[in-house]
């Protein structure tokens, strides 16, 4: 860091969000922690969003407008410009609570081994704050276990150590790997650094109907399965194309079409226990047993449903086909 650098670089990518982005910006500017630079990157908005952004003239803000390149590429633009020791994510429709940056920076300064720090979040449905929360695990061993399967972090709450981010190469822009750009990046980061969540609600996370994270198409699901398979294989010391590794990830995400004909549930259990390592807690080992039992039940249900589908005829068969696609083909 140079003498003119800020400790934190906040990156807010924006695309066509005039109704919410002002509040998101103000939630950062209102932080009592002030040692930050603030990159607001308009990724080719085609509505009145640029007019909203022009209202903000705080000297810590650097506004950038570019041709549309998508979320991952836009985040990498901000990372490339950032001079801070830490990168703070902020989504255009979420709100950071007043102590967010101060609390996260204090933790990271006290834990130099940590490369990624998230927080809990309370959910907003549109403009209404509701009594639902993202309260992901805060135990380091549990977090590493959950990362084998999915994303236990709220992306907009993330504070990233820039040295770790630079070491793993930032967000992937490979269209076969993103989205999920966040889970894909966390998966590379947790292999080289510690990860953590603060057990405090420091973000309001806005749910908007039609969001990709809730109604993503099958290719999105398949990419999540791919990243999960890589995480499990690497943790267990196995080839990435091991069929039972793929079975674990596929069944976890309801991708019955990716499951091999003869899933070996006993071996799946052994794989996950190997991935946990010799120091795994009894609670996590028990969770593996429950998880594999659940995957087996899911597979048997799918198999039984297919049997009924084959036997059915006429309108019943058409109805079962639609139900099957809903339950087992999309996630």
- The structure tokens listed for 93 are 């429709």
CB 61 within 8 A of CB 87: no
Looking at residue 302, what is its pLDDT? 72
Of the candidates 75, 161, 147, 151, the one whose C-alpha atom is nearest the C-alpha of residue 117 is 161
Mean pLDDT by runs of 10 across the 331 residues of the chain is 78 96 98 98 97 97 96 96 97 97 98 98 95 96 96 98 96 93 97 97 87 53 95 97 96 88 93 95 97 90 61 62 55 38
Measured between alpha carbons, how far is 57 from 45 in angstroms, rounded to an integer?
19
CB 134 within 8 A of CB 121: yes
| Peptide linkage before 313 cis (omega within 30 of 0) | no
- The structure tokens listed for 211 are 């969001």
- Within a 10 A sphere around the Cβ of 279, how many other Cβ atoms? 7
Instruction: For CATH 3.90.550.10, list the domain ranges present in the chain.
Output: 8-214
For residue 161, what are the β-bridge partners? Answer: 86
Query: Measured on CA atoms in the order 76, 78, 83, 85, is the torsion positive or negative?
Result: negative
Looking at residue 260, what is its pLDDT? 85
For residue 211, what are the β-bridge partners? Answer: none
pTM of the model: 0.88
Domain 8-214 fold is Spore Coat Polysaccharide Biosynthesis Protein SpsA; Chain A (3.90.550)
Please tell me the number of Cα atoms within 13 Å of 129 on its side-chain side.
Answer: 7
Looking at residue 320, what is its pLDDT? 53
Looking at residue 319, what is its pLDDT? 63
Measured between alpha carbons, how far is 105 from 89 in angstroms, rounded to an integer?
13
Of the candidates 203, 165, 187, the one whose C-alpha atom is nearest the C-alpha of residue 86 is 165
CB 255 within 8 A of CB 236: no
């Amino acid at each position: 860091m140079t003498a003119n650098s800020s400790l934190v670089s906040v990156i807010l990518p924006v695309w066509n969000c005039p109704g919410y982005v002002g509040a998101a910006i103000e939630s950062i500017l209102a932080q009592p922690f002030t040692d930050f630079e603030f990159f607001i990157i308009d990724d080719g908005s085609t509505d009145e969003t640029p007019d909203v952004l022009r209202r903000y003239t705080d000297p810590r803000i650097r506004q950038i407008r570019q041709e549309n390149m998508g979320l991952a590429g836009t985040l990498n633009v901000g990372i490339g410009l950032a001079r801070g020791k830490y990168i703070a994510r902020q989504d255009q429709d979420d709100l950071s609570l007043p102590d967010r940056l101060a609390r996260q920076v204090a933790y990271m300064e006290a834990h130099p081994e940590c490369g990624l720090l998230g927080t809990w979040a309370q959910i907003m449905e549109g403009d209404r704050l509701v009594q639902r929360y993202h309260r992901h695990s805060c135990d380091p061993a549990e977090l590493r276990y959950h990362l084998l399967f999915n994303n236990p972090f709220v992306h907009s709450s993330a504070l990233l150590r820039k040295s770790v981010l630079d070491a793993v190469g930032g967000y992937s822009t490979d269209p076969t790997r993103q989205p999920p750009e966040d889970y894909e990046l966390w998966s590379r980061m947790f292999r080289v650094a510690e990860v953590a969540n603060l057990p405090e609600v420091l973000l309001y996370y806005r749910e908007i109907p039609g969001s990709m994270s809730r109604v993503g198409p099958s290719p999105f699901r398949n990419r999540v399965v791919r990243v999960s398979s890589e995480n499990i294989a690497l943790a267990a010391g196995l080839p990435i194309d091991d069929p039972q590794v793929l079975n674990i990830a596929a069944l976890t995400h309801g991708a019955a079409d990716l499951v091999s004909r003869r899933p070996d549930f006993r071996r799946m259990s052994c794989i996950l226990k190997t991935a946990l390592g010799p120091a795994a807690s009894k609670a996590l080992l028990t969770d593996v047993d429950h998880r594999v039992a659940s995957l087996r039940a899911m597979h048997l249900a799918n198999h039984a449903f297919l049997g009924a589908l084959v036997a059915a005829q006429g309108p019943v068969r058409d109805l079962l086909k639609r139900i099957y696609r809903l339950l087992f083909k999309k996630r």
